Amino acid sequence: MAPRLVMIVASTLSLAACMQQKPTNDDVLAVTDTTAVYYTTKCTHPNTDGESCDRKTCKKDSRTSCARFADRCTQTGHTYEGNDDAGTCIREDHVG
């Protein structure tokens, strides 16, 4: 009986971990830095906290598009305006 209970608890905890939202470090607006690793991103409107962005742009390069940036933007609750070539991620409370 005890081994079965351990398995049930372990399975439940594993499922709960999988169902959690993505960590905030996946949030493309979490930092104000400009990157040009694959696609180029630039914070165009820093948040008043001085550490995150309210708007960040993306522009594709020869190696990859902005598709992952757009996906990460919407998956963390923001709005993406644009396409896979270029676009802007906007913090939800700054849309409009």
Nearest CA to 44 out of 95, 84, 90, 85 is that of: 90
Residue 6 neighbours by CB under 8 Å, 6+ apart: none
pLDDT at 63: 84
Distance between CA atoms of residues 29 and 32, nearest Å: 7
The DSSP letter of residue 78 is -
Q: What is the mean pLDDT of each successive set of 10 residues along the chain, which is 96 residues long?
A: 56 45 59 66 91 93 90 94 96 70
pTM of the predicted protein model: 0.62
Helix/strand/coil percent split, the chain, to 5:
35, 25, 40
pLDDT at 84: 94
The DSSP letter of residue 35 is E
